[in-house]
Structure 1
Amino acid sequence: MNKFISQYLSKVCGEIKYKGVTDDISEEIESHICEIADNYIETGMDEDEAIQKAITQMGDPIKIGKELNKTHRPKTEWSIIGLVGALVLIGGLTLITILSTESIQNQGHIPLNHSQILRTYLTYLPMGIGVCIGCYFLDYTKIEKYSLHIFGAAIGVWMSNSVINNPSGIIVLTMTLFIISFAGLAKRWGSGNIKDMLKLVGLAMLAIVLIFNTHPLSFGFVLLFGAGLLTVLTLAIMSKDFAGNKSRFIFSIYGGALLAKTFLLAGHLTSYRMSRFLAIIRPESYQNSSGWIISISRDAVSNAELIGRSDSLYYWQDGANKLILPDVHTDYIFTYIISTFGLLIGLVTLGIMVCVLTRMFMATRSIRHSYGRYLASAIVVLFTIQGLGNILMSVGLLPHLGFSLPLISYGGTSFVINMALIGVLLGIYRRKDLVMAGKKAC
């Protein structure tokens, strides 16, 4: 590098506090200086003289460095952090309310172990916060090259289900690892080359089949996971670096996904699965199976007070009120919130959730790095469908899908993973203004 350029860059970068961007900034400024110097050299000027004149034209290095320091530094999306904190607080207060209810017992179900649930929650709460902070400071660009390894790790986690015996936790963790790996693989292979695109589709189908065969309720997770994969593929196809026919690939990917899910569902369409969906239309005809819980959920919402507790979720037995609805601390916590605290609190909870998802979506729009944009967008889709699915399930408009309400429902594994994804998203946003592309040198 020319000594005059080196001295100039040293002064500029000396004003930049975040040293992680100085290499990219140096390459960009060097490129500009070289372009200007080339024009002077073409007029017959000596190279050193041309470079010095180009440097003078660039301006005061101290002033430029201070301006770049303002622009190129980590950004924190405080609104997302505040809203996420509100959801975690709502979840904690709701759980405490549930555990403080005397004789808490679901009809026909094992009584809740109050002390065990509280100990688990108090263990996973700081763990989730710690993981979120760790992922926030993690340089996500460093894991892109390990995408195929992460895909293999996801398969390993899926295979461990026979040992761990925690199907829901395994599905959530496996699905998360697959999404993270797929974002990197889409960046690597999503260029429009037929062979590379077939690799992506093949791995996506393998991941979907594995998840579908993990748990009886996994069809909902397949829909959730498939939406995340389609989001990543769509962004890759619509990017400026995609060399293939965008319309043809979009049609093929979405048409193939619809066909594959149709065959997958048809091949596993048991009478049990069919009854769960028919119960939405005629719950009274399935009162002894899945229609019972849908009826209870609908009654709880329709009979809820504007503010305060309704008795729709309780029945009287042995001199005490007991809960009718099972899993009020996990899958049906939103139903409990509405029935116990009132419709107004339910709407406030829903409003905060919508605000979180909106802010997350807005954050992804400002991310320029393709891998970061793929990963952040998939995270937003996972949260959106998970939250929407749980709420519709809680009010009796969907069958039981096994979705938890993100950051509110009780559950150690899902809470920690969701907090990790929040941390990853915030970490991607934190680096959104970094210079990512190299430039030509002299």
Structure 2
Amino acid sequence: MSKIENSKIINYINEVCSLVKNKKVHAEIRAELLCHINDTIEDYLEIGIPEDKAIDKALIQMGNAEIIGHDLNKAHKSNSDWLLLIITTGLIFFGFLTTAFIQSNTSNDAYYINYFSKLLVFLGMSIVLSLCILKVDYRKLKKYSLTFYICSIVLLLITLAFSMPVYGMKRYLIIGAFSLDTLAVTPILLIISLAGIFDNYNWNNKKSLFEGLTLSFIPVILFIYLQSLSTIIIYLIAVFTIMHLSGFKLKYLIIISASLVSIFLLCIFKTAYRIERFFIFLNPAKDIDGQGWIYNQLNTLRNSAELLGNNSNINISI
């Protein structure tokens, strides 16, 4: 190639890289773009197109450098999202402030004596874990997607088989002095694993469709047995979003969603007891010592609250 022709390629690659703020990936991007361009040029040369025209056609086929640069910048974004960081920090500060007031007003409650200190420990562990995750190239985790999925299912099965119910729910695995909230961990792992499994997934193939739906709904069955409706709702919203982005037709998702909602409403309204529980918030005074108890307690909390809390918020009669 002549110097002029080489400069066209170099200028194209430089323009793309100039739009990518993460300089650590420039070398990788340059090598990848150059490889694609050279392969395309060789294809054109093989069919008899002159070299200079082959270069021009190859650059046109690569696409607009500005668009590619912006897309690669999003994919390789390294700068922190300061707005998200500020909002997260504010929420954490508010949570700790609330916890401090609760602990200061519950000196006789053994559960809250060291609660604030425990939160500080967990916060420190979370920061360290977050910093470690930032160093991981998440794209390399894709090949372990099925492994994450299987481990999550096994963890849910172990929870279902061996955990002790807490307030009617099985969600904690006791390991020595520690407890693991599996219903807080497994949905995240499942969503991450399914995002990897459904990447470039062929939903048009009947076998793949059946396998994909099976993988998606096995956790739902386990969450039903673990009696966690909130987990089911959050999980399904995330999974349906992933399925739609991976090519699953929207009309089928709407049909599936409508069917699930219908089943949910049927389960609620088939007995008078559940109907009463569902609508008791409209008139909690109707059953103060029964279904409306929690709403009346919340009303007491709200009416007794002040700007910096109130000790009466904690000492509610049971």
TM-score normalised by length of structure 2: 0.70
Alignment of 1:58-73 (within 5 A): 71=73
Shift of residue 206, structure 1, vs aligned partner: 1.3
Contact 2:201–2:246 under 8 Å retained in 1: no
Which residue type is aligned with residue 104 of structure 2? Answer: S
Match of 1:209 among 207, 221, 234: 221
Provide the C-alpha distance between the structure 1 equivalents of 2:226 and 2:83, rounded to a whole number of angstroms.
36
Distance 1:39 1:77 in 2: 43
Give 5+ residue unaligned stretches, structure 2.
Answer: 60-64, 165-169, 173-180
Residue matched to 1:224 = 234
**Map of 1:192 onto structure 2:** 204
After superposition, give the CA deviation of every residue in 1:15-43 in whole Å (9 maximum; x if it has no partner).
99744453344333444466578779988
Structure number with greater CO (CA < 8 Å, separation at least 6) is 1
Distance 2:272 2:144 in 1: 39
- State yes or no: 1:295 paired with 2:287: no
* TM-superposition CA deviations, 1:259-294 (whole Å, max 9, x none): 45456x4699795x5554233233223322442121
The answer to whether residue 41 in structure 2 is matched with residue 23 in structure 1 is no
Match of 2:134 among 133, 136, 144: 136
Letter matched to residue 253 of structure 1? I
Structure-2 change in CA distance of 1:22 and 1:256 (3 Å): farther
1:191 to 1:25, Cα distance in 2 relative to 1, 3 A = farther
State the AA in 1 paired with 2:246.
A
What amino acid does structure 1 have at the position aligned with 2:244?
A: T
- Determine if contact 1:204/1:229 at 8 Å carries over to the other structure: yes
Larger gyration radius, structure 1 or structure 2: 2
User: Kindly, what percent of the aligned residue pairs are identical?
Assistant: 19
Secondary structure, aligned partner of 1:187 = coil
Q: Distance in 2 between matches of 1:73 and 1:186?
A: 23
Amino acid at match of 2:211: K
Residue 101 of structure 2 is matched in structure 1 by 97
Counterpart position of 1:257: 260
Tell me which residue corresponds to 1:85: 89
1:136/1:93 CA distance change after superposition, 3 Å: same
* CA 210–37 in structure 1, closer or farther in 2 if over 3 Å, else same: closer
8 Å contact from structure 1 (residues 189, 197) kept in 2 = no
Q: Tell me if the contact between 1:150 and 1:178 (Cα under 8 Å) persists in the aligned partners.
A: yes
Specify whether residues 14 and 295 from structure 1 end up closer, same or farther in structure 2 by C-alpha distance, changes over 3 A only: closer
* Partner of residue 193 from structure 2, selected from 176, 181, 193: 181
User: What is the DSSP-based 3-state SS (H/G/I as helix, E as strand, rest coil) of the residue aligned with 2:289?
Assistant: coil
Which residue, out of 120, 123, 144, partners 2:121?
Answer: 123
Give the secondary structure class of the aligned counterpart of 2:199. Answer: helix
Deviation of 1:207 after TM superposition, in Å, equals 0.7
Question: Can you give the 5+ residue segments of structure 1 that lack an aligned partner in the other structure?
Answer: 59-63, 105-110, 316-321, 327-442
- Alignment size in residue pairs: 287
Q: Distance in 2 between matches of 1:325 and 1:187?
A: 53
Name the stretch that deviates more: 90-99 or 291-300: 291-300
- Contact preservation (8 Å) 1:279, 1:291: yes
Write out aligned runs for 1:148-187 (5 A): 148-161=146-159, 162-163=161-162, 165=164, 167=171, 169-187=181-199
Matched-pair contact (CA < 8 Å) for 1:18–1:73: no
Q: How large is the RMSD of aligned CA atoms in angstroms?
A: 4.4
Per-residue CA distance 1:156-206 (angstroms, 9 max, x = gap): 211232445461622111222221122222224354333322222222221
Q: Is the 8 A contact 2:171 2:183 kept in 1?
A: yes
Residues 1:14 and 1:82: Cα distance change in structure 2 (over 3 Å): closer
Post-superposition shift, 1:125? 1.2
Give the residue type in structure 1 aligned to 2:287. Answer: Y
Native 8 Å contact 1:190 1:233 kept in 2:
no
Tell me the alpha carbon deviations over residues 344-400 of structure 1, each in whole angstroms, 9 at most, x when there is no partner. Answer: xxxxxxxxxxxxxxxxxxxxxxxxxxxxxxxxxxxxxxxxxxxxxxxxxxxxxxxxx
Paired letter, 1:227: I
How many Å apart are 1:80 and its aligned residue?
Answer: 0.5
**Residues 314 and 323 in structure 1, CA contact (< 8 A), matched pair in contact too:** yes
Separation in structure 2 between the aligned mates of residue 231 and residue 284 of structure 1, nearest angstrom: 40
| Deviation for aligned residue 1:83 | 0.9
Q: Please, what TM-score do these two structures have when normalized by structure 1?
A: 0.53
**1:187 corresponds to which letter in structure 2?**
D
- 1:235 corresponds in structure 2 to 245
